[in-house]
């Protein structure tokens, strides 16, 4: 059995998905869950891109102990210096440095000759080696690069100190056969390839990212890169949970092992979906809502007689549970603390008290409290920003009916501490509420997306709202949960606006690029 390392780039490539903007606390919560999931390496961000990203990478590097934390850098000394400052306190700091190698990228993007690209790559790997014990070098757009040129540059960057060679299918162009052949060619023709591990990084533009990843593994790759739920730029990346389950279910075809804890898949998927606002399609493999649903009568009959007739993956394998009652209104603080520990959360005494209060409020309104409800409460508390000026909802009231013009009245406290109140109308109750909020907020706001979903099942399920908007010309997303759909809607709107103030605190000074 060959061991394959898992390189998760949800916090870097995944966060580059349009409309996704995670704050530091949200990134930390995802990082902790990725550590529980068992990823070997997590790419925490691109430290040189902004002060906010730098601080998030540094916080993750200082927090995570059981996974190697890495950051992305362009092939420039300033990027590498900033990455080292962010990562130097990590348990196992590592750098991911890249440069494009395809003819079209070298000519039109870099405007460099092939020899200049080689010299830059070698110089920057050698420079990074003065500090970083582990250096991954990526040939951007490798799948459209000349193979003999790849052999030449890979040989030289390994000599310069690269310990991992990553050959990405950056634009999702290649096929499994072509991608596998590229890795075979590199293994057969790079004389010092035994000194470095081979890695693959696939995008899903043609829907072949997972297939290409498996083809790469079959051809000698010992590190695979991807994201949770396959999120990422354009059509996204290879979905790590799909790769992991394929390797597990088809051991007869793929004799490879990973460190991933498969029962953490559903929890990891749900957390990433909740914090990014990117809803998992119901029919998505492994983690979709319908992944274990059988509507056809023939299928249902077969599953009832023997689940293996139509179910090759058991729900329990990936952490899907029955959502039984876990705690109730008579549960005390000690029982609540024990449950929090079982779920893997570590809360400060202050946050534990806050979570217990939120739990008790929920039990007053909801008869059955499930793990999903607790995950929602704990995630909201762990990712709530503190010591940041922001708008807060004091009260709201909405009047509407089939014969009445919907009207919302809202009272807020402003970031300056003032209380403001007004009323507005709309064509529906949600629009009236959001028109009122917009009237109370000084920033220029344009709402671009609004979605509501339920946490769990039943008429008393928590409502979760996600919004996307531009605030003063910049894109932000917001989310919130509450038992009332209008309250969740209002709080998600304010959550997005308040990210402006969080970013103002985080972005103190832009690093040199």
Q: What is the mean pLDDT of residues 380-398?
A: 85
- Coil/strand/helix, residue 246: helix
Segment 351-367, tens digit of pLDDT: 889 889 988 888 887 76
- Coil/strand/helix, residue 173: coil
Does position 289 have pLDDT exceeding 90, yes or no? no
The model's confidence at residue 507, banded by pLDDT at 50, 70 and 90, is very low
Q: What is the mean pLDDT of residues 400-410?
A: 91
Q: What is the mean pLDDT of residues 415-422?
A: 94
Segment 488-501, tens digit of pLDDT: 999 999 999 998 87
Segment 56-82, tens digit of pLDDT: 999 999 999 999 999 999 999 999 999
Q: What is the mean pLDDT of residues 447-456?
A: 89
Does position 511 have pLDDT exceeding 70, yes or no? no
Does position 179 have pLDDT exceeding 90, yes or no? yes
In this prediction, residue 302 carries a pLDDT of 53
CB 219 within 8 A of CB 246: no
Task: Please tell me which residue, 509 or 283, carries the higher pLDDT value.
Answer: 283
In this prediction, residue 304 carries a pLDDT of 53
In this prediction, residue 412 carries a pLDDT of 96
Domains and CATH numbers, the chain: 2-276 (3.20.20.70), 292-321 (no CATH), 333-382 (no CATH), 392-506 (3.30.160.270)
Output the average pLDDT for the chain.
Answer: 90
**Cα(62)–Cα(85) distance, integer angstroms:** 12
Q: In whole angstroms, how far apart are CA 24 and each of 52, 82, 167, 254, 275?
A: 8, 17, 30, 37, 12
Tokens 């023709």 belong to: 189
Does position 470 have pLDDT exceeding 80, yes or no? yes
**Cα(423)–Cα(399) distance, integer angstroms:** 11
The model's confidence at residue 308, banded by pLDDT at 50, 70 and 90, is low
Q: By CB neighbour count within 10 A (0-12 exposed, 13-18 middle, 19+ buried), where does 251 fall?
A: exposed
In this prediction, residue 312 carries a pLDDT of 85
Share of residues in the chain with pLDDT > 70 (%):
93
In this prediction, residue 223 carries a pLDDT of 98
- Coil/strand/helix, residue 108: helix
The model's confidence at residue 404, banded by pLDDT at 50, 70 and 90, is confident
Q: In whole angstroms, how far apart are CA 148 and each of 151, 188, 220, 430, 448?
A: 5, 12, 19, 59, 47
The model's confidence at residue 209, banded by pLDDT at 50, 70 and 90, is very high
The model's confidence at residue 306, banded by pLDDT at 50, 70 and 90, is low
Of 484, 261, 270, 485, give the one whose Cα is nearest residue 371: 270
């Amino acid at each position: 059995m060959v061991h394959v390392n898992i390189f998760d780039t949800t916090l870097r490539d995944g966060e580059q998905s349009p409309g996704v903007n995670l704050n530091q606390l949200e990134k930390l919560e995802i990082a902790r869950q990725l550590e529980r999931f068992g990823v070997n390496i997590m790419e925490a961000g691109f430290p040189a891109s902004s002060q906010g990203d730098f601080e998030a990478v540094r916080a993750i590097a200082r927090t995570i102990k059981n996974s190697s934390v890495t950051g992305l850098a362009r092939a420039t000394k300033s990027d590498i210096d900033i990455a080292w400052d962010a990562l130097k306190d990590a348990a196992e700091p590592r750098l991911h440095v890249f440069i494009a190698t395809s003819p079209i990228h070298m000519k039109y993007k870099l405007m460099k000759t092939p020899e200049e690209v080689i010299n830059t790559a070698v110089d920057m790997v050698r420079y990074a080696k003065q500090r970083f014990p582990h250096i991954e070098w990526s040939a951007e757009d490798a799948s459209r690069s000349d193979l003999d040129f790849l052999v030449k540059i890979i040989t030289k960057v390994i000599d310069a100190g690269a310990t991992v060679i990553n050959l990405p299918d950056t634009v999702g162009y290649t096929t499994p056969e072509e991608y596998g052949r590229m890795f075979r060619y590199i293994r057969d023709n790079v004389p010092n390839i035994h000194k470095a591990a081979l890695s693959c990084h696939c995008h899903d533009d043609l829907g072949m990212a997972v297939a290409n990843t498996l083809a790469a593994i079959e051809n000698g790759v010992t590190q695979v890169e991807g994201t949770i739920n396959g999120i990422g730029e354009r059509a996204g990346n290879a979905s790590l949970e799909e790769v992991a389950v394929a390797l597990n279910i088809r051991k007869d075809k793929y004799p490879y092992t990973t460190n991933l804890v498969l029962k953490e898949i559903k929890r990891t998927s749900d957390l990433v979906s909740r914090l990014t606002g990117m809803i998992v399609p119901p029919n998505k493999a492994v983690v979709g809502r319908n992944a274990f649903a059988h509507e056809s009568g023939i299928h249902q009959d077969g599953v009832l007689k023997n689940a293996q007739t139509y179910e090759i993956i058991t729900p329990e394998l990936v952490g899907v549970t029955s959502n039984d009652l876990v705690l109730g209104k008579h549960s005390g603080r000690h029982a609540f603390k024990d449950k929090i520990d079982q779920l893997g959360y570590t809360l400060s005494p202050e946050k534990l008290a806050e979570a217990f209060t939120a739990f008790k409020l929920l039990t007053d309104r909801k008869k059955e409290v499930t793990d999903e409800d607790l995950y929602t409460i704990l995630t909201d508390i762990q990712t709530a920003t503190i010591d940041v000026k922001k708008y807060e909802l004091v009260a709201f009231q909405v009047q509407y009916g089939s014969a009445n013009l919907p009207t919302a009245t809202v009272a807020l406290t402003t970031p300056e501490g003032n209380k403001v109140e007004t009323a507005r109308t709309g064509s529906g109750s949600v629009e009236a509420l959001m028109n009122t909020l917009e009237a109370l907020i000084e920033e220029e706001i344009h709402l671009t997306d609004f979605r509501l979903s339920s946490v769990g099942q039943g008429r008393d399920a928590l409502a979760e709202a996600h919004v996307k908007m531009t605030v003063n010309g910049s894109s932000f997303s917001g989310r919130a949960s509450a038992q009332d759909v209008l309250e969740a809607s209002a709080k998600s709107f304010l959550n997005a606006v308040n990210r402006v103030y969080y970013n103002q605190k985080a972005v103190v000074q832009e690093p040199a690029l």
